[in-house]
Structure 1
Amino acid sequence: MTLLTQWPLAGLRLTTPRLELRLPNPEDLADLAALAADGVHDPAVQPFTVAWTDVTPDERAQSVLQYHWRCWGAWRKEDWELNLAVLRDGVVVGTQGITARDFSVLREVCTGSWLGRTHHHQGLGTEMRAAVLHLAFAGLGAQHAISAAYTHNAASLGVSRKLGYQEDGIERHSVRARPGVLRRLRLTAERWQQHRAVPVGIEGLPGCLPWFGLG
């Protein structure tokens, strides 16, 4: 019996012209933790609803490890969070997540991501989001994909616009003890087809389908 028999997600790979996305191994996790410790956004603003970055560098690093371990341990086909390490030329640059509840019924996913600060403004955010959208729509048969960003997060909102998302309402949250407006965005399968421009390859998906509640 092999690891892939018990945990086929370890064999899942997404590739784009510049990136590889995969379930992180222990070395990848260590690199992700180090990236988080160095910072993933301008500390003057808080782009996340859960302010996990408003702590010390060591605490940020530890939270990354614990979050990935928690998602692995809590995985159920009715409620899953797939968080992939994003590598460029073999170097971990960030992480891209895709989550769903009752996917076999709702056919809807949510996405979230971050990049190390030295890897911002290079178009990588668009490429890695395009990779998991391809997984969702072409690989898993999703009908909708959801994203959200605060009004000041121009980079995330820009990625969504490029990929064809449309406005889907707002939410108000307390961010650093002040009100913040979160803009929800929705992408349908039809609009994904119209706006797809990044070639994406998928390896190792068939054995993973039951883990996503399919097959």
Structure 2
Amino acid sequence: MHTYWPFAALRMTTPQLELRQPNDGELVLLADVAAKGISPPGQRTFLTPWTEFIPAQRGLAVMQSHWSSKATWNIHNWALELAVFREGQPVGMVTLRSQQFPILREVKTSAWLGLEFQGRGYGTEARGALLHFAFEQLGAEAALSEVFQDNLASQGVSRKLGYQFDGISRAVLDGQPVVSDRLRLTRAQWLGVDHPLVVVSGIADCRPFFLTDGDVS
């Protein structure tokens, strides 16, 4: 597996969490976490309505998304999906994605946690690990995020990590316009403050999936 898909060995470790790609058995456990609930009733955190599916469909959506991210990977359009583990227990997933990364050096992040694991700081710590990976391992120049204005939890995580307001975007949700804040965190802003320790292993063989031979991270 590592010969053809080196991400199987990629690990990000924080004081409380481990981020890595799940095997199929662990992916089933993550599907179970999603099936139990991700968003409080009546609250939408994504434009796509998958969090409102019935439990079995929510779990299937998690599995299909992960398989798709692997199958469609290319250096100009990729999504790195990692499971978030707390003491060996899966609690959610995070995604680092980019288009034209060798040229633009920009990334976006997204995440979900099971309802029972929210409010414990895991979301902030997991996104911090992704940002560490993007800025300090891949040489990203900026991290971007778009968050519904009423999504206070995600807005709070972004503020803690130093994102700055960068305008708004409008989209259609359930037939009505919805406004999101565009947020931006630059490399200089990230490197200008201290962050919890993140240990990354298994990155060397993954670099060709992000950067061309002439790139310097």
Shorter-chain TM-score category?
over 0.9
Query: Residue 194 of structure 1: CA displacement?
Result: 2.1
Secondary structure of the 2:47 match is coil
- Identity in percent: 44
* Structure 2 alignment gaps of length 5 or more: none
Deviation of 1:77 (Å): 1.1
1:39 aligned onto 2:45: no
Matched, 1:28 2:2: no
How far apart are residue 31 of structure 1 and its match?
1.2
Q: Say yes or no: does 1:102 pair with 2:104.
A: no
* CA-based RMSD: 1.0
Question: Aligned pair count?
Answer: 213
Residue type at the aligned position of 1:76 = N
Distance 1:44 1:26 in 2: 31
Q: What amino acid is the match of 2:130?
A: V
Aligned match of 1:168 = 166
Match of 1:187 among 182, 185, 188: 185
The amino acid across from 2:190 in the alignment is W
Q: How far 1:179 sits from its partner (Å)?
A: 2.0
In structure 1, list runs of 5 or more residues that go unmatched. none
CA distance in 2, matches of 1:214, 1:156: 33
Runs of 4+ in 1 over 4 A off after TM superposition: none
Q: Cα distance, 1:154 vs. partner?
A: 0.6
Match for 2:155: what amino acid?
A: L
Q: Deviations over 1:59-115 (max 9, x none)?
A: 111111111111110000111100000000000000010001111111100000010
Displacement after TM superposition at 1:186 (Å) = 0.5
Please state how far the C-alpha of 1:14 moved relative to its aligned partner.
Answer: 0.2
TM-score (norm 1): 0.96
* Residue in structure 2 matched with residue 9 of structure 1 by the alignment: 7
1:63-78 matches, within 5 Å, as 63-78=61-76
Deviating more after overlay: 57-66 vs 14-23: 57-66
**Equivalent residue for 1:128?**
126
AA partner of residue 129 (structure 2): A
Cα deviation, 1:3-53, whole Å, max 9, x if unaligned, reads: 111100110000000000001111221111111111101121111111111
Equivalent-residue separation in structure 2 for 1:120 and 1:127 (angstroms) = 12
TM-superposed CA distance for 1:178, in Å, is 2.4
Q: How many Å separate the matches in 2 of 1:116 and 1:195?
A: 29
Which one-letter code corresponds to 1:192 in the other structure?
A: W
Q: Deviations over 1:124-155 (max 9, x none)?
A: 11100000000000000000001111011111
SS of aligned partner of 2:49: coil
On the 8 A contact 1:78/1:213 being kept in 2, the answer is: no
- Equivalent-residue separation in structure 1 for 2:194 and 2:171 (angstroms): 32
CA distance in 1, matches of 2:75, 2:161: 27
- AA of the residue aligned to 2:168: I
- Asked whether the 8 Å contact 1:130–1:196 carries over to 2, the reply is no
**Corresponding residue of 2:80:** 82
Matched, 1:119 2:122: no
Alignment match of 2:152 (pick from 142, 151, 154): 154
Distance 1:103 1:117 in 2: 32
Which one is further off, 190-199 or 123-132?
190-199
